[in-house]
Every structure is written in structure tokens, then in C-alpha cells.
Amino acid sequence: MIKIYKFGEVPSEEIFARFSPTASVEGVVADIIAEVIKNKDAALKAYAQKFDGVTLDTLEVSQAEIDAAYENADKTFVAVLEEAAENIRQFHSKQVRDGFEIHREDGVVIGQKVTPIEKVGLYVPGGTAAYPSTVLMDSIPAKIAGCKEIVMVTPPAKDGSVNPDILTAAKVAGVTRIFKVGGAQAVAALAYGTESVPKVDKIVGPGNAYVAEAKKQVFGKVSIDMIAGPSEILVVADDTNDAAHVAADLLSQAEHDKMASAVLVTDSQAFAEKVSAELEKQIPLLPRCEIARKSIDDNGKIIVADNLLQAIEIANEIAPEHLELCVDNPFDYLDKVEHAGSIFMGKYCPEALGDYFAGPNHTLPTSGTAKFSSPLSVDDFVKKTQYSYYTETALDKVADKVALFANKEGLHAHAKSAVIRKK
């Protein structure tokens, strides 16, 4: 059963405690990466046999497989994918930024140009649940940014196939190439390249603890989006809500995995108890009830605050991945929210809208990192390059100032490179 705390009556470390995995996978992941670097495709096929129980002749998904998945897909689902993709494009198109240029006296020009990352790798989970939504969310911003190549990796099934819904979403989104590789070995293949899998410049997408650790270990060789932890939801709700609705929203994240976190912050003890009772009703009805049960019992909590303003303060301290403001006037509170990955406003905007359809990205900062990081966006798929231009006259005016700075730092060759050009 979910734990209920009265804020101020229990230690703050208990209120703000987060699940922390105890088992380290660092060594296992390091060994996997080393094996992929050494044996490339052979290592990937061996790991497919070991972890996925499948013997693969080829690693790349053929165009025929992609086309067949799309043609055989439920047409209603394809229509929903297309509509969701358009919503995602509309939102992310607003994130496109141009370079700039500043012109000063004496012909000085300084500026910045924005160019897309050439090759990006997209990791799509395929374990306890497969996520075609992730394909849309992570590849459409890359397409908008202008990335030339989008390489997707996802674990194969035991018959060597890839989930057809994932392939259909990839076709809708315009993914360039797809490989039947999962886990830490997929991250290693994208970072270092193999005979089949091309080396990319950046890796994005969520995964399990092994995928997250692999992304951490290859960072520097390639860029990554973030180190994603277990999924989280925090709901701020008053007692004018339907307890069944709020319980359903909490379970929408609890069913992700046993390490997921579902938190309600309310200003009503009575409402807290109603939601707790609703959770007990709804959990046994879920197909993934065992996962949800473990998540709610181990990591779920209800925090009773004095008022909604205090509830917002608690939410800011937790800095959740998903924040629902289930109140009648959510825009009155929006400016008070300082730390959250994505905010869902009002009583009729469940977090699931953001997962699939609304348009804002669902690849979000977790584990409190919303205090300093942002959702995946077009910005993640571009790089900025700055430039400067000085005329002879312009340099002549400032060369001594540059030299003064350089000499203060003991870098005399720096100083000389400026003054040697003086008239």
C-alpha cells in the first residue's frame, strides 16, 4: 500500500527520498563495450544469442521488413501515428533557431552558425514494453534539425523480428537505418561502429540500467542526451478532483517498471486516503499489476501539504520528470513551478497525452535533473559554431589589450601573436 506522509511531521530526507539502485552494472557494461570494440558484429550476434535468445544472420532490418510492417499495420493505428507525428512536428518546429551576426566598427564581424549533427543514434527499448512513441519523439526533432542519418537500434524478438509497431513508427518518422541490437552492446556499436552498424556522433533515447550505464561510459567518444533514471510522476491535486482519475494517473507511471516513482502531493488528508483506496482497487485490474504493485509499495508516496502553494514548493524540491497540476486554475500556478521536465495542466490533461500525442517531447530529465536540464528538443541535434573576423585596422586598435590579458596569464606566445601583426 502507498505510504502517506504529513509534510513537516516526518524527516525531510524521507519525504524527498528517491529510489537508488543498489546493484552496480558498471563492470558488466565495461566488459560488453570492450567486447564490441574488439569483435564488432561477431560480438553483437553473440550477445543477441545470449541475451535475446536469437541467432541472427544479419543485423540490419531490411526495407522489405519495414514495408511489410507498415502495410500490415492496423490502419487506425497508422492514422493515429501520423496525427501524433504532425503534433510533434508542429511543436518542435518552433524550436528551430538561426545563427546570428554582429557587425562592429572597423569591419569587425562576430557571429554564430547553427549546423545539424551529421549522424545520430536512436535507442528504442524492446524489453518489458516496446515504445513506438519513442521512435517519433526522438527521431522527428532530429529530422527537423536536419540530421543526415538517423540510425535506430532496438532488441530483436526470439524469432529475429523487430516489433512491427516500432518499424511502422520508424517509417512514419523517417528513420534512415534500423538494426536488431539492444542493450549496452547497441550503445557500444553506435559509439564505436562495427562492420554493419555505423558510428554516430550522438546517442539519444531511454533504456534500462545497462543502457544508461553504457551511455555514461561512451560519453566523450560520442555525445548523449541524458542519463535517464526510472520514470517518475508527481501529481499536485486538491480535493475537488476525482480520486479515481488521480490514482489512474499515478499508475500510468507505476506500470513502467518496479523502480518507477509515483507521488501525489495534496492539501487534503481525506483526499489522500481516497486516492490510496482507489489505488488498491485499480492495481489488481492492470495487466502489469505485479510491476505497478511493486512500484507503488516501494517508491510511491502521498504527501499531505498545508496548502497548494506548499505543494508546489514540494514539487520544486523533487523536480519530477512529469508534473500534473490537477487544479481548476493551473495557469495561476505555472510561474511558480521552477523544476519539472514536462507540466500537464488541469484536470483533463493526463500525463499519457504527453507520452503519445500532444506534441511536447516525452524524453525528459529524471532523478531530479530537471533542476538543471531540459526535455529532448531540436537543440539536442544541432551544434553551434562561433566565428570572428577582424580587419587589420581593427586588430591594430586592440592588439595591446589582448597582449595585456595574455601576459597576465603568463601566455606570452598568445600575446606575441596579436602584437606581431601591428603596423
Alpha-carbon distance of 33 to 44, in angstroms, equals 10
Catalytic residue among 321, 324, 351, 362, which? 321
Residue 203: beta bridge partners? Answer: 121, 224
Options 322, 324, 351, 362, the catalytic residue: 322
Ramachandran bin of 126, using left for φ above 0, alpha for ψ from -120 to 50, beta for the remaining angles: alpha
Catalytic site residue 322?
yes
Determine how many CB atoms are found less than 10 A away from the CB of residue 150: 25
Nearest Cα residue to 134 out of 142, 124, 144, 119: 124
- What positions carry a catalytic annotation? 321-322
